[in-house]
Amino acid sequence: MPMGTSVLSLRIDGELLDRLRDHAAKRGMSVQDYVVRTLIRDDFDQRFQSAVEETERFYGVP
């Protein structure tokens, strides 16, 4: 099945963008490439779920 492309737009604060720029620069990458590479890592789903669960515990979401 052919795969198409989509556009994802994010609004993030300046401090987080600076951190992303630093991480990307250390790897010689653009911020966009760094974010995409992070999203396609094998452990992303597991790390994302852990972050969601931690956030829910912090805010007391049942």
pLDDT in tens, 10-38: 898 999 999 999 999 999 999 999 988 88
Of 32, 33, 11, 31, the residue nearest 21 (C-alpha): 31
Task: Check residue 10 and give its pLDDT.
Answer: 83
Q: For residue 26, how far is the Cα from the chain centroid?
A: 17
Residue with tokens 């052919």: 2
What pTM, to 2 d.p., does this model score?
0.58
Q: For residue 38, how far is the Cα from the chain centroid?
A: 6
Percent of the chain with pLDDT over 70: 95
Q: Does the pLDDT value for residue 54 go beyond 80? A: yes
Q: Is 28 helix (H, G, I), strand (E, B) or coil?
A: coil
